[in-house]
Structure 1
């Protein structure tokens, strides 16, 4: 199966470099995306531009792909499912939940001169980075790129309720499936609360498993694609 890989804020397609060969060895075709304004060399982009890039990747696949969204890009993956419900086989969300309709995409971090730079590791102290040693943090930080403010403050809009019938796998890295279920049922993700086919996978890592546990992540994604 084609597996479209969308990394979260500040990361381009190279974030999946250690996952790609593992997925290939497991018989799948990984398609890591570098989004407009987020590593492709353009000076600016909007949330709509990024969504169009994901939709172009979906439309270029011969069958129905698995669409994977990491962190903030959980929303981008879900927006793509909303726009192409007949073309997406399944959605996998790693360490993130879709924003609600009418809310900003990802405006939790401060902008500087029109872009949102990687804020360093201090905001992520705790379970999110517990599995990253200093060299791993340095390597990951060196690959980050500022994200246009026009992306992070873009307003999320959903239009097609058929998205709720697409199977969703919630991959739980720095939190547990039990915690994720509780958050969803108590209203922290109104989108996933309406999903009719919702499963969970426990990864027991930090927030960036593509860096710290690429083989294990690939296995979880391959199993999702096979099921």
Structure 2
């Protein structure tokens, strides 16, 4: 099951899911509440966690690989704790990870984001076009991303994560996209130092589902094997 980051819906995984299905894998992209075809609905972090858990249970998935990109790493990581023995592995794609008591906006200068959320009725609008430069995206890919992006529910970014166990004990792979910075964020580095998590590097930008869908699909397939 695949969940994309801020502003994106299930559509962002179209090329990756096509690759996975062509290789014989089931793939279930998920749109989180308040985004894409579900846009306009206020949603906090717990809503997004329940989106993932509910869909796993509805589809009766077993040995499932949960994939969270960017922001979605937080609700996906929390959902991975809750689905018990249904979980096969969790994959964080250049993602934030849940830290107990902290929010998506914790740990980095986020006053501008908070102000933007307040000014836009509780939603975080997509970034301007220039912010997508240098991430190995073509002009056409940036056009697609911006034409289909929707404002992100601000409450999901300001609601603190509540961990029920130790994230490091989950079977996990972290995919670091090097054009978005060579080193993972400190919370991720701490988890990687345990030796329990696998680190995979991709020489691309923060949106590999657009820039390197075939390579990303191979990584996800390997994580599930």
Give the TM-score range, shorter chain.
Answer: 0.7 to 0.9
Q: Counterpart of 2:143?
A: 138
CA deviation string 1:52-100 (max 9, x = no partner): 1100122233412000000111111111112224321111111123142
CA deviation string 1:111-165 (max 9, x = no partner): 1221111021334544xx2x1122221111111010111111111110123x432
Q: Counterpart of 1:122?
A: 130
Deviation at 1:15, TM superposition (A): 0.3
The structure that is helix-richer by fraction is 2
Between the two proteins, the alignment pairs up a number of residues equal to 214
Equivalences for 1:167-182 in 2 at 5 Å?
167-174=171-178, 179-180=183-184
Distance 1:176 1:135, change over 3 A: closer
Find the aligned partners of 2:25 and 2:206 in 1 and give their Cα distance: 24
Find the aligned partners of 2:199 and 2:97 in 1 and give their Cα distance: 15
Find the aligned partners of 2:194 and 2:84 in 1 and give their Cα distance: 13
Residue in structure 2 matching 1:113, options 102, 114, 121: 121
CA deviation string 1:13-60 (max 9, x = no partner): 000011111001122111000111112144312211111110012223
Q: Counterpart of 2:16?
A: 19
1:8–1:73 contact (8 Å) kept in structure 2: yes
Instruction: Please say if 1:34 is aligned against 2:31.
Output: yes
Distance 1:84 1:190, change over 3 A: farther
| Structure 2 unaligned spans of 5+ | none
1:89–1:166 contact (8 Å) kept in structure 2: no
Residue in structure 1 matching 2:7, options 10, 15, 22: 10
| Structure 1 unaligned spans of 5+ | none
TM-score between the two structures when normalised by the length of structure 1 = 0.85
Q: What is the SS of the residue equivalent to 1:30?
A: coil
TM-score between the two structures when normalised by the length of structure 2 = 0.86
